[in-house]
Amino acid sequence: MENDQLIAIEVFCTNYNVEYAFVESLQEHDLIDTVIVDNTRFLQIPQLHRIERIIRLHHDLDINLEGIEAIQSLLGRIEHLDREIASLRNRLRFYETGL
């Protein structure tokens, strides 16, 4: 991954007002991935939306990390099913008109 797609965890924590230990615990629970470059740990910018959602779930709704893991798993399954439904609809349109 290119360095312009990375943000240092320290910078992220300062801007989002979260503790470094919280980000580490997210990685330990496999909720996010981090990258190490020159002994500095970074987050991938494409993951920021996911991390922001996790922070809201944890801070605003007071959901623990195990609950967030379950929610993320369910959201992933929903996204997969949505893609599958869209694919099936496209295949069905090929055979039927008017849908």
Question: What pLDDT sits at residue 98?
Answer: 57
- pTM for this model (two decimals): 0.76
17: left (phi over 0), alpha (psi -120 to 50) or beta: left
Asked if 50 and 32 count as a contact pair (C-beta separation under 8 A), the reply is: yes
The 10s digit of each residue's pLDDT in 33-51 is: 999 988 889 999 999 999 9
Cα 11–Cα 13–Cα 37 angle in degrees, nearest 5:
50
> Helix (H) and strand (E) counts for the chain?
4, 3
- Each domain of the chain, given as residue ranges in start order, spans 3-95
The 10s digit of each residue's pLDDT in 51-71 is: 999 999 999 999 999 999 999
Identify the CATH number of the domain defined by range 3-95.
1.10.1660.10
Other beta carbons within 10 Å of 96: 7
